[in-house]
Chain A
Amino acid sequence: MADNVKPRVKVPRSASAGESVLLKTLISHPMESGQRKDSDGNPIPRSIINRFTCDFNGENVIDATLEPAVSTNPFIEFEAVVPEAGEFVFTWYDDDGSVYTDTKAIAVS
């Protein structure tokens, strides 16, 4: 279990209908690659976020598979179309089975 896992998401507060908005996500996570060794020469077991998804009102925006080559505190930036007011749901899946979620509402002006 990775400690102090904290998702952070940046979503604009409002958008016009049908507009494409930029979403930035970051989650604090060590993303231990499994390649490193500790001071005694024993390999440190792999522990990463292996999947990230973003949905808007039940429709999928992006579904990313992450490998150990993604940096510590994985940062992902992408764009989404906002057809109506609603809520973005961001989900991160950890190797150990933990699931972290964050939600952000967006208004249509």
Chain B
Amino acid sequence: MIFTRRETLVLSAGAATAAFLPMQVNAAADDAIAAFTGGAEVTDGGVDLVAPEIAENGNTVPIEVSAEGAASIMLIASGNPTPGVATFNFGKLAGAHTASTRIRLAGTQDVVAIAKMADGSFKRASANVKVTIGGCGG
């Protein structure tokens, strides 16, 4: 198959849009993180995020987060139409600062957990989850 000049242009424009779209999605996730941290520096480590490597059904993906000494933990699905997933604020009587739930993932993507520690610093952990069937319906 030989492309004409016009077809080549259309194709490359499509490829450029496709390449740009994930960046937009990640920008939304970054905005959500910035709104949570208030622009403070986020360091890696100190948070445990347990997620399956491969999720067959994106409608219910079991996720577990824990962070010793965290005041709150926010979960972000960077590839979802709306990246926010849940925020857990731990009260005075919280045992181990851990929570697990089941979430929806639109497709293969990184799940990010940001923990706000009691001293005001922020820690993060992320895990890549491969999703066979997306969970945002159609």
Taking Cβ atoms with an 8 Å cutoff, the residues of A that contact B are: 20-22, 33, 35-37, 55-56, 59-72, 74-83
Q: Which of B99, B103, B135, B138 contacts A62 (CB 8 A)?
A: B99
With a 10 A CB-CB cut-off, give which of B93, B100, B101, B105 has the most chain A CB atoms. B93
Number of interface residues, chain B, beta carbon within 8 A: 33
Question: Please, which residues of chain A bring their CB within 8 A of the CB of B135?
Answer: 71
Using A33-B104, A64-B88, A67-B84 as known contacts, say yes or no to A78 and B93 having CB atoms under 8 A apart: no
Q: How far is the CB of B131 from chain A (nearest CB, A)?
A: 13
Q: Which of A60, A71, A75, A76 contacts B92 (CB 8 A)?
A: A60
Q: Which of B77, B94, B102, B103 contacts A78 (CB 8 A)?
A: B94
Question: Please, which residues of chain A bring their CB within 8 A of the CB of B136?
Answer: 33, 35-36
Question: Please, which residues of chain A bring their CB within 8 A of the CB of B117?
Answer: none
Q: Is the CB of B84 within 8 A of A79?
A: no
Give Cα A20 to B90, complex, Å: 14
Q: Is the CB of B99 within 8 A of A64?
A: yes
With both beta carbons as reference points, the residue of chain B lying nearest to A35 in the complex is identified as: B136
Q: Is the CB of B96 within 8 A of A64?
A: no
